[in-house]
Structure 1
Amino acid sequence: MAAFLFHVLAAFAQVWITQGIYGGGDMMVYFVTGATIADVVSYDPGRFFPELVALLVHQESIWPFYVMGAGGSTGTMSAVSGLLQLVLGESIYGVCVALSIAAFFGQLALYRVFREVFQTHLWRRHLVATMLVPSVVFWSSAILKETVAMAAFGWVVLGLHRFVQRRRAVGVALVLFAGFWVAMVKAYVLFALALAGAVWWYWRRANDASGGRGVDLRPGYVLIGVGAVVLMIVVLGELFPRYAVEKVGEETARLQHVGTSVQGGSYYEVAEQEERSLLGQLAFAPLALATSLFRPAFFEVRNVTMAVNAIETTTLTVLLLMAFARRSPKGLWNEIKRSPTLAFAIVFVVGFGVAVGLASTNLGTLSRYRIPMMPFFAALVLTWTARVPHGSHAHPRLPPARHVSL
């Protein structure tokens, strides 16, 4: 499959660019630290393998050398690198390719969701959206947190899909297992997923209750959905205090302040760094979302990677405008009403896009941080621009509805 080949090639490109152009970066820190970890574990596995496991899952670990970010996601990445080097040897290409393949299968799980839900005439478009978006392929093919997150992310979405289908045991197992690894490297992704997942569940139940005619307001389901969202956000906030509701504004302002210390040609600012309240940050939500979806533009390009990103964002922007020109708001809304998966995608893109747009201050890192939402954004755009074959229906395939009320 072309997508598999592109992931492998992207892994090699990541090494060449990181070493040859940037002269270093996060990936090299993880690789070098992982190499030292692998050497120490190989020398005394009985003593240090348990420390490696502890480092992997954010627990306290003791090493005869300094491990940057131990007890957090940075330490987890060094542990992942060390584990892979124990198996593959001290090869940066081997580690990158292994992680790239893991991300490929994560994206394949995401494609499976779209393939099961939508009509056959959309399958190729969704294959492109989930497997072949350039920025997603590139940034999920290195020793980076985003790669590990994408390797697990697709399985979380597949688990949510199974849960919505009422295959709850399989769904919960997938969400818990894959979600754990997302949490180890990119915990904030789960907050947007919690919100979007609740909407997905509500949309499906309401569709079933209406006999497949489209979502209608069902107060019982709304209350259950809102309660589930609140519960999940509270639990996630307890597990990851820096992302708790009462600290979100402060954490966002901190990340914005950190970004000012590395200003360059790709620097941008959406919100005021002094604004530390959640409501104050959310006042800039529309601008943050537009930044996440549509930048960089061609006039902002400073290097080759930004040029590729600009081609991607410009293409999606033009296609989105074409969709809005061809379809009436009522037509789009009717399609969304009948599709729980489209509703999920929209909520995730908006929620995650606002968060990333506010927290990022560099167009280069923005293209890297936003990759979990890009397959959904591309899928929305490519779905809305597709021509429906004669005799087919625009709405997705759904199993026979169960007539229920609440």
Structure 2
Amino acid sequence: MELKDLLLTPLYLLLFYGIAFAVRSKVTNKFTKKYFIPALTVKFVGAIGLGLIYQFYYGGGDTFNYFNHTKVIYQAFGDSASAGLKLIFGNHETFDPEITRYIPQLYWYNAPTEYFVVRIASFCAILAFDTYTVIALFFAFISFSGMWAMYITFVRIFPLAYKKLAIAVFFLPSVFFWGSGVMKDSICIGALGWVFYGFYHATIDRKNIITASFLGFIGAYVLIAVKVYILLSFLPPALLWIFNENSSRIRSAGLRMLVKPVFIVFGLIAAYFGATHLTAGDDKYDVDKIGERTKINSAYLTSQVANGSAYNIGSFDGSLGSMVKVAPQAVIVSLFRPFIWEVRNPVMLLSALEAILFIYLTFSLFYRTGVVKSFQLIASQPILTFCFIFSIVLAIGVGTNSGNFGTLVRYKIPLMPFYLGALYIMQYKAAQLRAKPQVKSVRKFRQLAVTE
């Protein structure tokens, strides 16, 4: 970070807050309004804090690798606006002599997923005079837009839990720290929020279908470009959600039994199509190579960790069958670890405290409600079914693909709001089942708690 970071950051903060206050009334209501600015603030704190941690604690890392790429492109833009724009928006498959001299300086030029983030960062750099902290604020602001969309979608589905849902989406330390700076994770969790918003409003709520579909497709495009496995984890439970919502509207039990196989088959076909066509030919995510790739990544990351943050979920040979065997351990390590005695540094301590919260809420809910009744409750509520299946599927993926807690804490942040949000919704539902409280004017409250 440089002197211009200190000079420009306060000015851009005023600009972003000015925009936020200007749009707040359009995207909030009397219940959600009070969370808008605090949620944005923690994103800004996370974005700046991540840069400071990487600079003074880690001594470098991916966030500064992205920034180094923006320096090259910003210089190219200064030499020739045409060259700069070609590096940001151009097609890499076409030879262009105007940008040839810059390409050797761009280590990730031929790495599509990383360079997609470089494109976004470089566009922000032009608006930010290539100032790292200001670029980080842009990333936080972009990410926040998607996470706010995620939050108001949750609130629309279950408005009674709007306070705790705000905690689940915005105020988990790992989520706002790792999901706010100049990293893939910031872009992906924001994009996931827009996918969730678009999917729900276009297929379940069926309001503002065109706008919701457009925003959802933009989010899906970003996930395909950066971390397609998040979208692939989202797809099967989302299709099951559609079935559950529609089957509950069919009064005839016999007709439901006839329609159910159709939805299941359709879901399997769509999931297979997405998994095979979206990842075909991709060395990282091709389904034919994912087992082998997972084994390589896990072994490499484990071997690189010398500070005690590695974990072992069991041996597997890279086949999908062996991944199934280690799946339970992968879920446990993703949702409930590191345990407090496994903490080796302050970053792991935050993750361990979050894991304690997850453990406490999970086991207390199942204990107080009963195991059978808990699963019946999850099966009866489509949003709970979706959240838990999505969280478990993604937990298996990141748990087997990491190998150490340092990378796992970043990989798992997309599932954390959904898992904790589901626990909080389940907490309310379970309390209603036990006490059967009388809630006055539920319809009025639902209307007030929804932002459209």
TM-score by length of 1: 0.90
> In the alignment, is the contact (CA less than 8 A) between 2:294 and 2:401 conserved in 1?
yes
Residue 161 of structure 1 aligns with which residue?
200
Cα contact 1:60–1:70 (8 A) shared by 2: no
SS of the aligned residue for 1:218 comes to helix
Output the CA distance in 2 between the equivalents of 1:70 and 1:108.
32
Partner of 1:295: 337
1:149 correspondence with 2:188 = yes
Who is 1:104 aligned against? Answer: 144
> C-alpha separation between the residues in 1 aligned to 2:93 and 2:198?
27
**Is contact 1:158–1:171 with CA below 8 Å preserved after alignment?**
yes
Change in Cα spacing, 1:141 to 1:60, as seen in structure 2 (3 Å) is farther
Q: Take 1:263 and 1:190, find their aligned partners in 2: how far apart are those partners?
A: 29
Report the alpha carbon displacement of residue 380 of structure 1 after superposing the two structures with TM: 1.7
**Residue aligning to 2:84:** 48
Letter in 1 for 2:194: W
Q: State whether structure 2 residue 292 is matched by structure 1 residue 253.
A: no
Quote the Cα distance in structure 2 between the aligned partners of 1:63 and 1:128.
48
Residue in 2 that maps onto 1:199 = 240
Query: Structure 2: where are the runs of 5+ without partners?
Result: 1-36, 448-452
Aligned to 1:127: 166
Distance 2:133 2:313 in 1: 37
Residue-by-residue CA offset, 1:317-369 (whole Å, 9 max, x unaligned): 11111101111234323332332211111111010000000000110110111
Instruction: Select between 193-202 and 237-246 the one with higher mean Cα deviation.
Output: 237-246
Instruction: Say which is worse superposed, 290-299 or 9-18, in terms of deviation.
Output: 9-18
Say whether the 8 Å CA contact 2:72–2:105 is kept in structure 1: no
Q: Which runs of structure 2 are paired with 1:216-365 in the superposition (5 Å)?
A: 218-238=260-280, 240=282, 242-264=284-306, 265-272=308-315, 275-365=317-407
Residues 365-376 of structure 1 mapped to structure 2, 5 A cutoff:
365-376=407-418
Corresponding residue number in structure 1 for 2:21:
none
Q: Which residue of 1 aligns with 2:51?
A: 15
How far residue 378 of structure 1 moved from its aligned partner, in angstroms, is 0.7
Task: Evaluate the alpha carbon distance shift between residue 289 and residue 15 of structure 1 in structure 2; reply closer, same or farther with a 3 A threshold.
Answer: same
SS at match of 1:208: coil
Contact 1:205 1:221 in 2 (8 A): no
Question: How many aligned positions are there?
Answer: 392
Q: Is the 8 A contact 1:42 1:86 kept in 2?
A: no
**Cα RMSD for the two superposed structures:** 2.6
Of the structure 1 ranges 234-243 and 127-136, higher mean CA displacement relative to structure 2 is found in: 234-243
Q: Distance in 1 between matches of 2:70 and 2:359?
A: 40
Greater C-alpha radius of gyration: 2
The percentage of counterpart residues that share the same residue type is: 24
Q: For 1:219-278, what per-residue CA distance to the aligned partner results, in whole angstroms no more than 9, with x for missing partners?
A: 2222222222222222212274532221111111121132134122111122436x0211
Aligned counterpart, 1:74: 114
Q: Runs ≥4 in structure 1, deviation > 3 angstroms?
A: 58-63, 166-172, 239-242, 386-389, 395-399
How far apart are 1:155 and its partner, in Å?
0.2
Q: Distance in 2 between matches of 1:226 and 1:279?
A: 19
Distance 1:60 1:162, change over 3 A: farther
* TM-score normalised according to structure 2 size: 0.81
Separation of aligned partners in 2, 1:369 and 1:211: 43
State whether structure 2 residue 231 is matched by structure 1 residue 184. no
Aligned to 1:85: 125
- Residue 164 of structure 1: how far off its partner (Å): 2.2
In structure 2, which of residues 27, 42, 47 is the aligned counterpart of residue 6 of structure 1?
Answer: 42
Q: What code does the residue aligned with 1:327 have? A: T
Q: Secondary structure at the match of 1:209?
A: coil
Q: Is the contact made by 1:114 and 1:126 (CA closer than 8 Å) also made in structure 2?
A: yes
The 3 A distance-change label for structure 1 pair 392 and 59 is farther
